[in-house]
Amino acid sequence: MSPTQNVLFIMCDQLRFDYLSCAGHPTLRTPNIDALAAQGVRFDRAYAQSPICGPSRMSTYTGRYMRSHGSTQNGVPLRAGEPTLGDHLAEIGVRNVLVGKTHMVADRAGLARLGIDPASEIGVRAAQCGFEPYERDDGLHPDGGYDPAPAYDTYLRAQGFDAENPWEYWANSAEGAQGETLNGWLLVHGDKPARIPAEHSETAYMTARAIDFIEGAAAAGQPWCLHLSFIKPHWPYIAPAPYHALYGPTDVKPAVRSDAEQTEAAHPIFRAFQQERYAQSFARDEVRERVIPAYMGLIAQIDDEVGRLLRFLDDKGLRDSTLIVFTADHGDYLGDHWLGEKQLFHDVSAKVPLIVVDPAPAADATRGTVNRDLVELIDLAPTFLDWFGGAPKPHVLEGHSLLSLTRASAPGPLRAHAVSEYDYAVDGVRRRLGTKVRDCRLVMITDGRFKLITAPGFRPILFDLDTDPGELTDLGADPAQAETIARLTAALLDWYRGAANRITVSDGWFSDGDAAAEAFDPLLDPGILIGYWDEAELEAESTKRAAWRAARAGR
């Protein structure tokens, strides 16, 4: 491993896969992100392992499905001892550093049970999802003490933007004609500029902190993986000037939805989510026309800041030694399918943008291409380990390195199916439907054409992505689709059986001694004699052992 090899891992929060100009958005312009796509591979069928922040990120940071790591919803701790990307990289001398959001909740009960001080070096890494927290900021600091006193508040005060809560007053509120505060949480104010100047907004600040880290790390010469985790375009949907005014109602794409999706024949879980407050709001055109331009402005600002960061890497001569990944943790319905937020598995929610820029000469042939293979966010951890020359860990990491695709060396697709999961026990949907907490698990599996969603206690949902790319027609109750549903259900059962739960030893623990075991009884070495009749039989087996070892020594 070269000491100058690095990873820049950029993740946006709640960025839809189709809200980039390189992905075909008709009016949004993202030239710097497009440039990354031109320099690398854009993966057009990348799926998050959960359509909500916490579980999606825990899957990304562990390289494991939600069913394996157990952090099933925002606020559910990742259990102490669950191996993370940071643990794997630490073994090979790579710093794994965070600037921005993780949504990690520490398993403090587990740390206490193991006698680990959360403030110790090991405790910090366990509490921070394997990251060295250069600056962690999960991006929500409303009045009410949810996550008070971020470093960003200190920065704002030092710049003269003082308030009891600078995050809310300056960065996420607007100002009325009489100087009154207009709450940025309220969707009606999405067309107004945030009080904060763009150069001091959260997106610009986090970019500056990433640059600060790289500046120091480059001088130290130690390889690093920097996770720059932007807080936006996640709500509150309010952008600083001039980004608030770059787009308007005419830039809002028509909602992808149908009247049939609101009928009683629609799936009960789908209908129950339509009754949530955020869905009721985004079902209104006036809300979409007010909020989506702000969402687009926030993306445009991210693009500008990505450009600033890339220019810095160029100035430092780091581009040729840095693997760059750009992605998101999930999407945003924005009124499609009569929904807001994320939670369900339509592509606008569960599919994510993913661009990988592999600077190795071996990747030259794939630059500027679009890959249509099914890939998942759990593929990033093994990709980073592979980039740094670490040994594969298939008994722990359930994803696959994407370098075989960026270098066109894969013998075929990495997988036949992609899977995503969601636990709706925390939602009003559970109470609305009367579902037991343990039965609130939704699982989606897709083979690239068909997408099956299973829900305990309810019939399945099925979409044909070839004939119905907008996912407007649910075929789950169609008798003609019984064979497809059975096939994908069987694939889902195979997926469950394939969980990587034996993480303490690799497959080699069982198989490395196969050659010896075929030559003689391997239990002779530890002196465990099972099934032998007499001394002669034991002596014959011992002779075979000696002959095998002599042959090996004589090679």
| 8 A C-beta contact, residue 417 and residue 396 | no
Residue 276 is assigned to a structural domain of this protein: yes
Alpha carbon 520 to its chain's center: 48
492 and 472 within one domain: yes
pLDDT at 320 (0 to 100): 96
pLDDT tens profile 79-121: 999 999 999 999 999 999 999 999 999 999 999 999 999 999 8
263, 293: one domain: yes
pLDDT of residue 3: 45
Same-domain status, 430 and 550: no
**Domains contained in the chain, number:** 2
Question: Which of 497, 516, 536 delimits the end of a domain?
Answer: 497
Instruction: Clarify whether residues 523 and 375 are in a common domain.
Output: no
**Alpha carbon distance 274, 50 (integer Å):** 19
Residue 198: give the domain boundaries.
6-497
Whole-angstrom distance, CA of residue 195 vs CA of residue 157:
14
Residues 402 and 550 in one domain: no
Distance CA 347, CA 328 (A): 13
pLDDT at 220: 84
> What is the model's pLDDT at position 1?
39
Q: How far apart are CA 364 and CA 408, in angstroms?
A: 10
Residue with tokens 């200190």: 154
Amino acid at 166: P
Are 331 and 440 contained in the same domain?
A: yes
Write down the pLDDT at residue 2.
42
Same domain, 426 and 549: no
Q: Using CA atoms, how far apart are residues 544 and 479, in angstroms rounded to an integer?
A: 62
Give me the residues of the chain with pLDDT under 70, please: 1-3, 145-148
Interhelix angle 380-387/53-62, rounded to 10 degrees, is 30
**Catalytic annotation on 53?**
yes
Q: Strand 418-423: give its sheet, edge to edge.
A: 418-423, 441-446, 450-454, 461-464
> Residue 180 has what pLDDT?
96
Residue 281 shares a structural domain with residue 167: yes
pLDDT of residue 146: 62
1 falls within a domain:
no
Which of 448, 469, 497 terminates a domain? The answer is: 497
For residues 298 and 233, the answer to whether their CB atoms sit within 8 Å is yes
Tell me the CATH number at 278.
3.40.720.10
**Do 60 and 96 lie in a common domain?**
yes
For residue 533, tell me if it sits in a domain: yes
CB atoms under 10 Å from CB of 349, counted, come to: 28
502 in a structural domain: no
| Cβ-contact 382, 63 below 8 angstroms | yes
Q: What does the pLDDT look like over 423-477, one tens digit per residue?
A: 999 999 999 999 999 999 999 999 999 999 999 999 999 999 999 999 999 999 9
Residue ending a domain, choose from 472, 497, 522: 497
Predicted local confidence at residue 517, as pLDDT:
94
330 part of a folded domain: yes
15 located within any domain: yes
Do residue 453 and residue 544 come from a single domain? no
Query: Of the candidates 399, 400, 380, 418, which has an alpha carbon nearest to the alpha carbon of residue 10?
Result: 380
Same domain, 320 and 461: yes
Alpha-carbon distance of 444 to 358, in angstroms, equals 30
Catalytic residue among 53, 129, 225, 440: 53
- Kindly state the tokens that stand for 373: 């293979």
Maximum CA extent, the chain: 102
Q: Are 444 and 293 within 8 A, CB to CB?
A: no
Instruction: Return the CA Rg of the chain.
Output: 26
Q: Are residues 80 and 202 in the same domain?
A: yes
